[in-house]
Amino acid sequence: MTVEQKKLRVGVLGCGPISQAGHFEACSKASNAELYAICDSADELRSRMQAIWQPTVAYADYQQMLDDENVDAVIIATADAFHIQLAMMAINAGKHVLCEKPLGITIDECEELVEVVNKTDRLFQLEHMKRFDGGIQAARDFIQTEMGQLVAYKGWYCDNSQRYLTINAVQPQVILSDSKRKPKIAPKADLQQYNLLSHGSHLLDTAMHLAGDITEIESHYLKRAGHQCWLMSVAFADGTLGQLDLTLGVHMDWHEGFQIYGENGSVVGKTYNPWFYKSSDVEIFSKATGNFTRPLAADGQFYRRQLEAFADSILNETPIIRAATLEEGLRTVRTMVAIQESTRTGKSVRVADARGSV
Ligand SMILES: NC(=O)c1ccc[n+]([C@@H]2O[C@H](COP(=O)([O-])OP(=O)(O)OC[C@H]3O[C@@H](n4cnc5c(N)ncnc54)[C@H](O)[C@@H]3O)[C@@H](O)[C@H]2O)c1
């Protein structure tokens, strides 16, 4: 007789583009989780998503979803400005949380959440699905086990001007709603802040996941010819030198990746537009063997893989492995605040001294 494995019953808050293109399918395909509930205050959008994805139940009101005892965990997929308040509500209702990146916008609000979550036994994981990209995982494994001391990390994340042609070609039809709940200040009102929060958070998380904490940052910024460009010199905690390039609107293909030089080898990675669901091409050179390795990480559904890891930690009471923790989310917000300050002042900023808001 086979014992049916318990599945994590997930409630997804927000039926917007990221849920439609990522989370609903991840929940439906996960081996150890199910799309139990969805929630959105926009009635027509929620009804359409209910018809397509067939959750057991759909809620217009978030508190009602939190009051549902059958919901084990929530995925928070709303505008950045809402993340902290909605995460607090979920934790206070006793739910585990998988929250979209970035964690928040101000350092203070993120610190407050860390304090609240740490008083509970609830699992809080941040959505940084690139950590579940098998190519990036191979790079990290090599760094952790064989690379020895790191010398330099170069990372780039350049969204391209053709992105919507690509996205429209590969994503399912995304339904937008005029009645969706929006923050008081439109996220794109300040494009510099928006790009740092949306794209910079990925660049920083990958860099810190592979090379450790960034302690100091000097950022040079140029807005020209329709581009926003940050070129940054950074120092990692162990003394590794770093250069980061965040440029939005490059006239070429999606351009994201990293090069890492170390004591016992090197790693070069090319990351694809996420909506292709294709793992990064990573080439690892080992000084010991004199060989290159190029892993084929055939399962590129990193949203599903991330959710399965989250569910596994909860169902089996195991610690978070690979995924971005709450503290790492705070660290990324702090680093973004340091970038803003360095951009404003033209000076190098110690991340530990950063205060205020992205
Ligand atoms: N990981 C990634 O690669 C990735 C990619 C895109 C977006 N994101 C992140 O995902 C998040 C959501 O992005 P989006 O474009 O889908 O957002 P969106 O604002 O278009 O959609 C959010 C939905 O949540 C609903 N909502 C908000 N607050 C609510 C509440 N209190 N009760 C009920 N419904 C509520 C809104 O009505 C809306 O339909 C953002 O933080 C964004 O940065 C991540």
Q: Find the Cα–Cα–Cα–Cα dihedral 235, 240, 241, 245, rounded to 10°.
A: -80
Asked if residue 238 lies in contact with residue 216, where contact means CB atoms within 8 angstroms, the answer is no
User: What's the whole-number mean pLDDT along residues 229-239?
Assistant: 98
Confirm whether pTM is higher than 0.95: yes
Gap between the Cα atoms of 116 and 93, Å rounded? 12
**Could you tell me where in the chain the CATH 3.30.360.10 domains are found?**
131-300+331-353
Instruction: Please check the confidence at residue 313 and state whether its pLDDT lies above 60.
Output: yes
Distance CA 195, CA 56 (A): 36
> Region 267-278: what's the mean pLDDT?
98
CA of 16 to the centre of ligand 1 (A): 5
Question: What's the CATH architecture for 131-300+331-353?
Answer: 2-Layer Sandwich (3.30)
pLDDT tens-place string over residues 61-98: 999 999 999 999 999 999 999 999 999 999 999 999 99
Pair of tokens at residue 199? 């794209």
* Confidence class for position 1, pLDDT limits 50, 70, 90: very low
Q: Which residues pair with 246 in a beta bridge?
A: 157, 230
| Residue with CA at minimum distance from ligand 1 atom 18 | 16
From the list 48, 98, 110, the residue with the least C-alpha distance to 330 is 110
Average pLDDT value for residue range 25-54: 98
Tens digits of residue pLDDT in 92-118: 999 999 999 999 999 999 999 999 999
Atom of ligand 1 nearest to the CA of 177: 39
What does pLDDT average to over the chain?
A: 97
**How, if at all, do strands 73-76 and 96-100 pair?**
parallel
Residue 112: its pLDDT value, please? 98
For 179, how many CA atoms within 13 A lie in the half-sphere containing its CB? 9
Strand ranges in 104-240 using DSSP code E only, listed in sequence order: 124-127, 150-160, 214-224, 227-236
Dihedral of alpha carbons 73, 79, 82, 83, sign: positive
8 Å CB contact between 236 and 151: no
Three-state SS at 49:
helix
At residue 305, does pLDDT exceed 90? Answer: yes
Average pLDDT rounded to a whole number, residues 130-157:
98
Specify whether the CB–CB gap between 264 and 227 falls below 8 A.
Answer: no
Is the C-beta atom of 159 inside 6 A of ligand 1? no
Query: Of 265, 266, 264, 263, which is closest to residue 154 (Cα–Cα)?
Result: 266
Instruction: Please tell me the total number of residues recorded for the chain in this structure.
Output: 358
Of 3-12, 24-33, 136-145, 199-208, the least confident: 3-12
What pLDDT, in 10s, does the model give residues 162-189? 999 999 999 999 999 999 999 999 999 9
Q: What is the pLDDT of residue 5?
A: 78
Structure tokens at 16: 């917007």
Is residue 104 within 6 Å of ligand 1 at its C-beta? no
pLDDT of residue 4: 66
Which atom of ligand 1 lies at the shortest distance from residue 42's CA? 37
Sign (positive or negative) of CA dihedral 274, 277, 281, 282? positive
Residues of the chain with CATH 3.40.50.720: 8-129+307-323
Q: In testing the pocket of ligand 1, which one of 99, 110, 181 has its CB within 8 Å of the most ligand atoms?
A: 181
- CATH number given to 8-129+307-323: 3.40.50.720
187 CB within 6 A, ligand 1: no
